[in-house]
Amino acid sequence: MSGPARRLARAWILPFVDPRRLASLWRLPRFFSELRAYRRRAPGERVSFGDAYPCLTDRAAHTPFDPHYFYQGAWLARELAAAKPAKHVDVGSSVLMVSTVSALVPTVFVDYRPLQVELPGLECIAGDASRLPFRDASVASLSCLHVIEHIGLGRYGDPIDPEGSAKAARELARVLAPGGRLYLSAPVGRARVCFNAHRVFDPQALPGMFPRLRRASFGYVDDAGAFHRGVEPAAAAGNDYACGMYVLVKDA
């Protein structure tokens, strides 16, 4: 199967069928064997078949993880720990990451689908990345990780808008204060629109969406899941779906 055909099959099969779960059916005999073994070793404990919950995909030599989300969360936490801002604003990033970051610095979390939780150090508000609810130049520390690529594609109920990512970029730049830092991540590599999931940006062209901001640093997670720190965006150009991480600064 050619590369384009493989990508097409993956894009139109994976959203509807999970091959890992189908492939895990061959593990059922072992599941039943271990269930019988457990019952024999715990004769006084009622282990009902109706209460069983087969987890057949978790046996692995190493703990599985999503490299993009693992490394970008670690990257942002370390950046904030070093910068020590008095307050941080995040726009739409991973809620698990935001829950942790809010332990380091008081955090305002803005999302199109407002997060309904109560947690010390975390304030959650509704907002649209293309119309952020902040005054001009009012946010000194700002993050938007793996979000800007979705804006305008309708995936999360937002309006269809081919200019969605560009509008979000202008809004992030608008609210960033002079001297402030924007921590941004997005898929980079072969530039394209994967409707309605996300866009993938050219790693060298993406900073051009923020003409008023200066790139202070760049790192990325490559297609193989390795994290590269302190490199130039050109280093990520040969990837198909990497995760570019940018620190952008608005000079005073």
Domains plus CATH for the chain? 3-51 (no CATH), 67-249 (3.40.50.150)
What percent of the chain lies above the pLDDT cut of 90? Answer: 88
In this predicted structure, the answer to whether residue 1 has a pLDDT above a threshold of 70 is: no
What percent of the chain lies above the pLDDT cut of 70? Answer: 99
Identify the pLDDT of residue 109: 98
Identify the pLDDT of residue 155: 95
The helix/strand/coil state of 134 is: coil
Run of H or E residues at 146: none
Residue 130 C-beta-side C-alpha neighbours within 13 Å: 15
List the one residue out of 163, 168, 179 whose CA is nearest residue 213: 179
List the one residue out of 144, 247, 236, 245 whose CA is nearest residue 190: 236
In this predicted structure, the answer to whether residue 8 has a pLDDT above a threshold of 80 is: no
List the one residue out of 207, 175, 191 whose CA is nearest residue 241: 191
Average pLDDT (24-48) is: 94
What global pTM score does this model have?
0.91
Tokens of 156: 């999360």
pLDDT confidence band for 19 (50 / 70 / 90): confident
